Amino acid sequence: MTHKAGRHFLQIPGPSAVPDRVLRAISAQVMDHRGPDFAAVGLQALEGMKTIFKTEQDVFIFPSSGTGAWEAALVNVLSEGDRVVMYETGHFATLWNKMAKRLGIEAEFIEGDWRGGADPEAIGQRLREDTNHEIKAVCVVHNETSTGSVSPIAEVRRAIDEAGHPALLMVDTISGLASVDFRFDEWGVDVAVSGSQKGLMLPPGLSFNAVSAKAMKISETGGMRRSYWDWQDMRGPNQTGYFPYTPGTNLLYGLNEAIAMLHDEGLPNVFARHQRHGQATRAAVRAWGLDVLCRQQGQESGVLTAVVVPEGHSADAFRATTMEHFDISLGNGLSKVADRVFRIGHLGDFNDAMLMGTLSGVEMGLKKAGIPHQKGGVDAAMQVLDETDVAALTAA
Ligand code: PLP
């Protein structure tokens, strides 16, 4: 393999590049997870995650990828044959829907066009039709990583309440948390699912459930047969900072460091930084004359931008060119949009100069790969960065 000088640009929408501070924290020696010193690490992580989810209710941490926490969310509150409503925002909503069906849940899927977030109106309508209250939960993806669209979670909650329906609200915020505002308690979410490798700036390997008192109560007597994912098993040892089985010790060191970094910057500033980078990226894409996949104004993600390549061109060939010549990894198009889009990740520990490096690589890549486009995307992005400051966005 030929040597490539300089840092690789990992611009997929997660895993995101891990900051040096977090890498150093993770590199500390493994400790006895049942010994006296571990309690402080465990409690700091569990309490810290509550500040990130914005909840005073339970948070559980699993040593698994996000998919594990999806399963944990479903099996703790739903039984085989239960009905749920899910919304097709994109590839990840589709995978969660498939998982629910494999577990024997009757999972309805409200069709979406992959170009925006979940529609609260359509969800409310479906719940109003369910006069016998057979639907046990509404499941929505907060930040759909395959399309770059954000669902309006507070409005989904309102739609459930206005329908007078008791369904639980379950939200996948695997790629939203710590990048896009998320308020578990205020928005009345019942179960939230997240993962370590996106806005939390850690390597993959930890996943999370935030759980409302209502969902916790259901899990006490309900849900499916389960063992590894059982919230009740976690809850006891968690009270004193311990876990029922071996936790991801070193990732927890990293998590505590990442949470400290997020609070040092201030969550409103973190969200504004992501939003501003999303705006600048979309300005670049439009100046290139290309299409942003998300077309719902106000629902475009600050985490990533999915870009549609012109008909007759291959997004994957373009990504290969960008990788070969500029050492930049871009996200691929998933399932329905395979080879039709590429995704620019602008999440995590990321700044203006890194964004400009990324967008320059993309613009050079477009030229090298022969994708029809106009020049000036990088300039357009620079202008947005110049004109938009984080303080203005946090005040908005
Ligand atoms: N949900 C969303 C929105 C995701 O972005 C991902 C992964 O990218 C997943 C679920 C699945 O998580 P994991 O790959 O960590 O199992």
Interval 99-127: pLDDT, tens: 999 999 999 999 999 999 999 999 999 99
- Give 1-22 pLDDT, tens digit per residue: 688 999 999 999 999 999 999 9
| Pocket of ligand 1 contains residue 67 by CB under 6 Å | yes
| Pocket of ligand 1 contains residue 66 by CB under 6 Å | yes
> By percentage, how much of the chain surpasses pLDDT 90?
97
Ligand 1: centre distance to CA 67 (Å):
6
Return the exposure string of 149-159: e unless at least 16 CB atoms fall within 10 Å of the residue's CB, then b: bbbbbebbbeb
| Pocket of ligand 1 contains residue 275 by CB under 6 Å | no
| Pocket of ligand 1 contains residue 347 by CB under 6 Å | no
Residue 71: the pLDDT is 98
Ligand 1: centre distance to CA 92 (Å):
7
**pTM, full prediction:** 0.98
Asked whether the beta carbons of 304 and 345 are under 8 A apart, the reply is yes
| Spatial CA neighbour of 150 closest among 17, 362, 342, 294 | 294
- Residue ranges, CATH 3.40.640.10, the chain: 20-263
| Spatial CA neighbour of 280 closest among 197, 340, 362 | 362
| Pocket of ligand 1 contains residue 332 by CB under 6 Å | no
> By percentage, how much of the chain surpasses pLDDT 70?
99
Instruction: Work out the average pLDDT over 372-395.
Output: 92
Pocket mutation for ligand 1, best pick of 71, 145, 170, 194 (most atoms within 8 Å of C-beta): 145
Pocket mutation for ligand 1, best pick of 10, 71, 91, 92 (most atoms within 8 Å of C-beta): 92
Ligand 1 atom closest to the CA of 141, numbered from 1: 3
Residue 2: the pLDDT is 81
Instruction: Give the confidence band of 351 by pLDDT, cuts at 50, 70, 90.
Output: very high
Distance CA(45)–CA(62), nearest Å, equals: 12
CATH topology of domain 266-395: Aspartate Aminotransferase, domain 1 (3.90.1150)
Ligand 1 atom closest to the CA of 145, numbered from 1: 5
Asked whether the beta carbons of 151 and 89 are under 8 A apart, the reply is yes
pLDDT at 396 over 70: no
Residue 17: the pLDDT is 97
pLDDT at 59 over 90: yes
Side-by-side strand order, sheet with 328-332? 9-11, 328-332, 341-345, 304-308, 291-292
If you write DSSP's letter for every residue of 294-350 in order, what string do you get?
A: --STT-B-SSEEEEEPPTT--HHHHHHHHHHHH-EEEEEP-GGGTTTEEEEE--SS-
Nearest CA to ligand 1 atom 5: 145
Residue 395: the pLDDT is 67
pLDDT at 42 over 90: yes
Pocket mutation for ligand 1, best pick of 10, 16, 62, 67 (most atoms within 8 Å of C-beta): 67
Ligand 1: centre distance to CA 9 (Å):
20
20: how many CB neighbours lie within 10 A of its CB? 9
| Pocket of ligand 1 contains residue 90 by CB under 6 Å | no
Residue 394: the pLDDT is 84
- Residue ranges, CATH 3.90.1150.10, the chain: 266-395
Residue 389: the pLDDT is 85
Ligand 1: centre distance to CA 172 (Å):
9
Query: Candidates 1.20.1260.10, 3.90.1150.10, 3.40.50.2300, 3.40.640.10; correct CATH number of 20-263?
Result: 3.40.640.10
| Pocket of ligand 1 contains residue 141 by CB under 6 Å | yes
Coil, strand or helix at 304? strand
Q: Token pair of 102, please?
A: 């494999």
- Give 224-279 pLDDT, tens digit per residue: 999 999 999 999 999 999 999 999 999 999 999 999 999 999 999 999 999 999 99
19: how many CB neighbours lie within 10 A of its CB? 18
pLDDT at 280 over 90: yes
Instruction: Work out the average pLDDT over 165-175.
Output: 98
Residue 392: the pLDDT is 80
Q: Token pair of 74, please?
A: 């479903």
Instruction: Give the confidence band of 381 by pLDDT, cuts at 50, 70, 90.
Output: very high
Pocket mutation for ligand 1, best pick of 174, 229, 332 (most atoms within 8 Å of C-beta): 174
